[in-house]
């Protein structure tokens, strides 16, 4: 795993001074705590912070090819490196190390940027082609590993996390109001964006090329999550279930490749249980599993976690998340997410990765991706029910199906059926709109913008994020099955920019833990896309094919459980007598006015409401987290961040050229 | 009993304060759901407010958009139920 940072200068000058690069690597220390390596050559500088997982002794980076015309720094893993290495070896390539990262160099020798199509993994890398004087930034298909870049002082700078870019004082720390508008609509920025003007991310499934003579940066897409326009009607459910099982097992097998022990998260739900069961089934060692529990019963799933741990005979470890724990770690969490968030869900996962680290493990397998690609979320069912209702609007029985979807939302228990229907009936006949499934959610979330300050509202003017959203969507979206449309939207606007980042990579890497995601193996994703929609979500039975594929491995009360979304307390964490002190301080009118994003009176009213109500609604909770996390973000990255006072990393090895590989 | 301006104003102030956090305004006949002033769970806050402020009991089957989806409708509903402002204990 690791962190990468570097730069390419396009004006014939040195790209980065040594101090800045060492500061960047210090800021990435949590991603690579064991050692750091630097390579510089003319206009390019490459830095790597290492968390060693494969080839513990030999895998120092930056890595070079045989004749040192290519150099690479990699964050992540290429899981099929064994097969690729054998193939490349047969064609005469010579390897310096046993590291999985090295196959990238040798594939590039043969294929150039098309090498990405051969990789099965989760990776973000920078490759320097000295002959062409060209830098390539590559990112994995789904956005598991992060990769940011910006232009400053005639250089393209890149890094695994934004904070490393900010180590260069030439990089401006200017909040992007369009990004804030997007977060307060879609729960996250749109792909490619960040909360900073001028700082971008290489989108999932893309690579970027930049030449030392100034051509670029040019982004190219090499993979897209797609669905067919005409569904395959030839095969039955068993066919897909068997095939899915085979691919999942292979995806897990590849992801167990490590020179260190590998553990698994257990949430208590179907997805992580399936992964843990597959590991147990095919691996001889005692599996270590990790779970987070809540003192608040509404969020806790420990019974199911323990059930699964006993069923598999794992060495099970638990960290309890009390409401005060969330408040305590939340500022650290925002330091890692580098963006405002509308949920506290990353915080318990932050605690969970700390638990893994305390037990000496560096790698865990988890179940992210199944809900998106195998149709697990309630929003998919909601869309299908609304479409069903729209075909017969006078029906009394059709809207009753909505009730069952949200059993876990305490608010909705008290709400009248009439109101539920009135809410879900909004825009119900807009079924031709490819964003139908998400319109209500986005519209409801956008209500949070009533908290914006006058200045922000004026600056935004009539900005409409929908246009930018539509520009990023697949041109064939309208021709896909409605369920596929919904899944695609959830993948592009939620999985990629939020779940894999703020709830995934960032909070795991905060404690130097690498997460691996078998459901995100691109072969699994591609197969899932080919399963006919009616089989993916069979009536209201979500993840139908997945259940068929893995139920023999699981106790029935696990795979038959109704979907319980993973959530964490909000108001309990930030309100009440034990509330952390920073809440009142950051939400006080003077601090709110100084940051300038929100209306100070409105924030005070919101905070008072949250503190005095026995039961706070979900929208108000999102508002509280949204405002608080924005204030924390502003404080950490804009107001108090000072590049000049940053420490430099001292355990840095300078890698020099002039060591060509001798033939063995 | 006919509704009076005080009732309507009280409801208006509550809606602006609770759902808009005093950062904006809403017309008395604007659809609270339709204009995105509140979502379906917000009606529970309205019901609680109406019961406590006007001393009436809202039956489950009266929680309908017809009765609660605008400030004007709420005022009419309160008047129909014979509600009046509950005086605070001195």
Residue-wise DSSP of A213-228: TS---EEEE-------
Chain B residues with beta carbon closer than 8 angstroms to that of A618: 41
Chain B residues with beta carbon closer than 8 angstroms to that of A424: 40
Structure tokens at A547: 């259940």
Contact A605 B69 (CB under 8 A): no
Residues of A tagged active-site: 2
Residue-wise DSSP of A75-124: EEEETTHHHHHHHHHHTT---S-S-TTHHHHHHHHHHGGGGGGG--EEEE
Pairing of strands A514-516, A363-365: parallel
CA distance A577 to A571: 12
List the one residue out of A273, A277, A263 whose CA is nearest residue A304: A273
Burial of A394-404, coded b for 16+ CB within 10 Å and e otherwise, reads: eeeebbebbee
Tally C-beta pairs within 8 A across A and B. Answer: 75
Phi and psi for B58 in degrees, rounded to 5?
-90, 120
Residue where a domain stops, chosen among A198, A223, A248: A223
Residue of A nearest to B64 (CA): A418
Q: What is the pLDDT of residues A370-401, one digit of tens each?
A: 999 999 999 999 999 999 999 999 999 999 88
Counting Cβ atoms within 10 Å, is residue A87 exposed (0-12), middle (13-18) or buried (19+)? middle
Same domain (yes/no): A357, A280: yes
Cβ-contact A130, A120 below 8 angstroms? no
Check residue A575 and give its pLDDT: 93
Residue where a domain stops, chosen among A466, A489, A512: A489
List the one residue out of A312, A313, A269, A371 whose CA is nearest residue A553: A312
Q: Measured between CB atoms, does B59 come within 8 Å of chain A?
A: no
Same domain (yes/no): A181, A285: no
Q: Angle CA(A182)–CA(A186)–CA(A188) in degrees, nearest 5?
A: 70
Chain B residues with beta carbon closer than 8 angstroms to that of A409: 41
Check residue B83 and give its pLDDT: 79
Which residue in the block uniquely carries the two structure tokens 């609680």? B48
Same domain (yes/no): A59, A183: yes
Q: Which of A419, A601, A617 sits opposite B23 (nearest CB)?
A: A601
- What CATH number corresponds to the domain at position A75? 3.60.20.10
Same domain (yes/no): A505, A453: no
Structure tokens at A11: 């004006």
Q: Measured between CB atoms, does B39 come within 8 Å of chain A?
A: yes
Q: What is the pLDDT of residues B42-63, one digit of tens each?
A: 888 999 999 999 999 999 889 9
Q: Measured between CB atoms, does B17 come within 8 Å of chain A?
A: yes
B 67-86 residues inside an 8 A Cβ radius of A: 68-69
Residue-wise DSSP of B1-66: ----HHHHHHHHHHHHHHHSTTSS---TTS-TTTTTS--TTHHHHHHHHHHHHH-----GGG-SHH
List the one residue out of A357, A364, A359, A140 whose CA is nearest residue A255: A364
Same domain (yes/no): A321, A340: yes
Contact A412 B20 (CB under 8 A): no
What is the number of structural domains in chain A? 4
Q: What is the ipTM of this complex?
A: 0.89
Contact A423 B40 (CB under 8 A): yes
Check residue A389 and give its pLDDT: 95
Structure tokens at A609: 């409401």
List the one residue out of A379, A403, A343 whose CA is nearest residue A566: A343
CA distance A199 to A598: 23
Chain B residues with beta carbon closer than 8 angstroms to that of A447: 36-37, 39
- Beta strands across the sheet bearing A155-159: A199-201, A148-152, A155-159, A2-9, A44-50, A35-41, A652-654
Counting Cα atoms < 13 Å in the Cβ hemisphere of A99 gives 28
Q: How many angstroms separate the CA of residue B59 from the nearest CA in chain A?
A: 10
Phi and psi for A158 in degrees, rounded to 5?
-140, 155
Counting Cβ atoms within 10 Å, is residue A109 exposed (0-12), middle (13-18) or buried (19+)? middle
Q: How many angstroms separate the CA of residue B46 from the nearest CA in chain A?
A: 11
Q: How many angstroms separate the CA of residue A602 from the nearest CA in chain B?
A: 5
Residue A418 belongs to domain spanning: 378-489
CA distance A570 to A389: 33
Residue-wise DSSP of A455-512: HHHHHHTT--HHHHHHHHS-TTGGGS-HHHHHHHHHIIIIIIIIITIIIIIHHHHTTT
Residue of B nearest to A602 (CA): B21
Q: How many angstroms separate the CA of residue B7 from the nearest CA in chain A?
A: 22
Which residue in the block uniquely carries the two structure tokens 């009539």? A462
Structure tokens at A79: 């899981």
Q: Which of A444, A599, A603 sits opposite B39 (nearest CB)?
A: A444
3-class SS string, A351-413: HHHHHHHHCCCCEEECCCCHHHHCCCCHHHHHHHHHHHHHCCCCCCCHHHHHHHHHCCCHHHH
Interface test with A, best of B14, B16, B43 (most A CBs within 10 A): B43
Check residue A556 and give its pLDDT: 93
Contact B21 A601 (CB under 8 A): yes
Give every residue of chain A whose pLDDT is below 70, as ranges: 407-415, 660-664
Same domain (yes/no): A534, A610: no
Contact B33 A423 (CB under 8 A): yes
Does residue A590 sit in helix, strand or coil?
helix
List the one residue out of B80, B5, B89, B19 whose CA is nearest residue B49: B19
Q: How many angstroms separate the CA of residue B36 from the nearest CA in chain A?
A: 7
Q: Which strand (E) or helix (H) includes residue A196?
A: none
Q: What is the pLDDT of residues A320-364, one digit of tens each?
A: 999 899 999 999 999 999 999 999 999 999 999 999 999 999 999
Return the bridge partners of A75, or none.
A124
Q: Is residue A564 part of a domain?
A: no
Interface test with B, best of A414, A415, A419, A598 (most B CBs within 10 A): A419
Residue-wise DSSP of A329-348: HHHHHHHHH-S--S-STHHH
Cβ-contact A447, B33 below 8 angstroms? no
Chain A interface residues (partner B, CB cutoff 8 A): 409, 411-412, 414-416, 418-420, 422-424, 426, 443-444, 446-447, 450-451, 599, 601-603, 605-606, 609, 617-619
Q: How many angstroms separate the CA of residue A596 from the nearest CA in chain B?
A: 15
Q: Which of B18, B61, B64 sits opposite A609 (nearest CB)?
A: B18
Cα separations (Å) of A437 from A224, A433, A490, A563, B21? 21, 9, 9, 18, 29
Cβ-contact A3, A164 below 8 angstroms? yes
Structure tokens at A623: 């508002």
Contact A411 B44 (CB under 8 A): yes
Same domain (yes/no): A200, A242: no
Contact A599 B43 (CB under 8 A): no
Q: Is residue A660 part of a domain?
A: no
CATH for B5-80, options being 3.90.480.10, 3.20.20.60, 3.40.50.2300, 1.10.1200.10? 1.10.1200.10
E strand map for A533-585: none
Pairing of strands A315-321, A288-294: parallel
CA distance A613 to A572: 11
Burial of A13-34, coded b for 16+ CB within 10 Å and e otherwise, reads: eebbeeebbbbbbbbbbbbbbe
List the one residue out of A453, A565, A454, A598 whose CA is nearest residue A499: A565
Same domain (yes/no): A202, A244: no
CA distance A595 to A418: 41
Q: How many angstroms separate the CA of residue B21 from the nearest CA in chain A?
A: 5
Cβ-contact A23, A649 below 8 angstroms? yes
Same domain (yes/no): A262, A346: yes
Contact B33 A603 (CB under 8 A): no
Same domain (yes/no): A247, A297: yes
Same domain (yes/no): A527, A636: no
CA distance A290 to A286: 13
Cβ-contact A571, A621 below 8 angstroms? yes
Check residue A664 and give its pLDDT: 36
Q: Which of B22, B39, B63 sits opposite A418 (nearest CB)?
A: B63
pLDDT surpasses 60 at B90: no
Cβ atoms within 10 Å of A462's Cβ, excluding its own: 4
CA distance A450 to A619: 12
Same domain (yes/no): A575, A545: no
């Amino acid at each position: 795993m690791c962190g990468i940072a570097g730069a390419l200068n396009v004006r014939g000058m040195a790209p980065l001074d040594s101090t800045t690069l060492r500061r960047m690597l210090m800021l990435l220390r949590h991603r690579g705590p064991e050692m750091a390596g630097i390579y510089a050559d003319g206009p390019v500088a490459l830095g790597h912070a290492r968390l060693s997982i494969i080839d513990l002794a030999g895998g120092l980076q930056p890595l070079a090819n045989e004749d040192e015309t290519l150099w690479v720094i990699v964050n992540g893993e290429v899981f099929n490196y064994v097969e690729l290495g054998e193939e490349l070896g047969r064609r005469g390539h010579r390897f310096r190390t046993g590291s999985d990262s090295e196959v990238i160099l040798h594939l590039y020798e043969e294929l150039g940027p098309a090498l990405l199509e051969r990789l099965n993994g989760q990776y973000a890398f920078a490759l320097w082609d000295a002959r062409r004087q060209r830098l390539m930034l590559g990112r994995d298909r789904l956005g598991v590993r992060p990769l940011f870049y910006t232009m400053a002082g005639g250089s393209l700078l890149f890094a695994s996390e934004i904070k490393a870019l900010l180590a260069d004082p030439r990089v401006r720390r200017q909040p992007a109001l369009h990004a804030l508008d997007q977060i307060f609509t879609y729960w996250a920025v749109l792909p490619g964006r960040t909360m900073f003007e001028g700082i971008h991310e290489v989108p999932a499934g893309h690579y970027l090329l930049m030449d030392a003579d100034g051509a670029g940066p040019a982004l190219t897409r090499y993979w897209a999550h797609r669905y067919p326009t005409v569904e395959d009607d030839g095969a039955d459910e068993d066919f897909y279930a068997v095939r899915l099982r085979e691919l999942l097992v292979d995806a897990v097998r590849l992801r167990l490749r490590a020179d260190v022990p590998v553990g698994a998260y257990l949430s208590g739900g179907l997805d992580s249980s399936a992964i843990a069961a597959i590991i147990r089934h095919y691996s001889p060692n005692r599996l270590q599993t990790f779970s987070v529990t809540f003192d608040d019963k509404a969020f806790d799933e420990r019974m199911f976690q323990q059930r699964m741990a006993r069923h598999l005979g794992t060495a099970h470890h638990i960290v309890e998340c009390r409401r005060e724990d969330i408040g305590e770690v939340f500022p650290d969490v925002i330091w890692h997410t580098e963006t405002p968030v509308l949920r506290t869900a990353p915080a318990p996962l932050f605690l969970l990765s700390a638990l893994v680290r305390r037990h000496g493990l560096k790698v865990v397998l988890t179940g992210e991706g199944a809900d998106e690609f195998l149709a697990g979320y309630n929003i998919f069912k909601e869309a299908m029910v609304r479409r069903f209702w729209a075909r017969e609007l006078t029906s009394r029985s059709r809207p009753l199906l909505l009730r069952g979807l949200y059993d876990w939302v305490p608010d909705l228990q008290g709400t009248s059926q009439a109101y539920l229907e009135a809410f879900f009936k909004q825009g119900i006949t807009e079924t031709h709109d490819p964003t139908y499934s998400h319109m209500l959610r986005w519209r409801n979330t956008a209500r949070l913008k009533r908290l914006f300050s006058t200045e922000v509202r004026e600056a935004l003017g009539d900005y409409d994020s929908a246009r930018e959203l539509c520009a990023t969507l697949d041109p064939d979206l309208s021709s896909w099955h409605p369920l596929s449309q919904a899944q695609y939207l959830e993948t592009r606007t939620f999985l990629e920019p939020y779940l894999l980042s703020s709830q995934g990579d960032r909070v795991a890497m905060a404690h130097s833990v690498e997460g691996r995601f078998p459901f995100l193996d691109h072969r699994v994703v591609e197969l899932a896309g080919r399963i006919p929609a009616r089989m993916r979500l069979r009536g209201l039975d979500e993840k139908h094919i997945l259940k068929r594929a893995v139920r023999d491995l699981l106790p029935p009360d696990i795979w038959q459980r109704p979907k319980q979304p993973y959530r964490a307390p909000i108001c309990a964490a930030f309100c009440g007598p034990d509330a952390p002190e920073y809440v009142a301080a950051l939400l006080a009118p003077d601090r709110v006015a100084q940051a300038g994003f929100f209306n100070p009176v409105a924030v005070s009213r919101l905070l008072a409401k949250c503190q005095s109500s026995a039961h706070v609604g979900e929208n108000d909770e999102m508002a509280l987290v949204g405002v608080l996390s924005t204030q924390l973000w502003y404080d950490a990255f804009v107001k108090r961040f000072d590049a000049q006072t940053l420490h430099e990393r001292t355990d840095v090895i300078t890698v020099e050229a002039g060591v060509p590989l001798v033939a063995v | 009993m006919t509704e009076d301006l005080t009732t309507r104003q009280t409801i208006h102030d509550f809606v602006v304060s609770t759902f808009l956090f005093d950062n904006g305004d809403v017309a008395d006949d604007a659809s609270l759901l339709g204009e995105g002033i509140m979502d379906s769970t917000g009606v529970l806050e309205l019901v609680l407010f109406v019961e406590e402020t006007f001393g009436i009991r809202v039956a489950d089957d009266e929680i309908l958009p017809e009765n609660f989806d605008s400030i004007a409708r709420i005022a009419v509903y309160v008047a129909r139920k014979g509600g009046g402002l509950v005086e605070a204990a001195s």
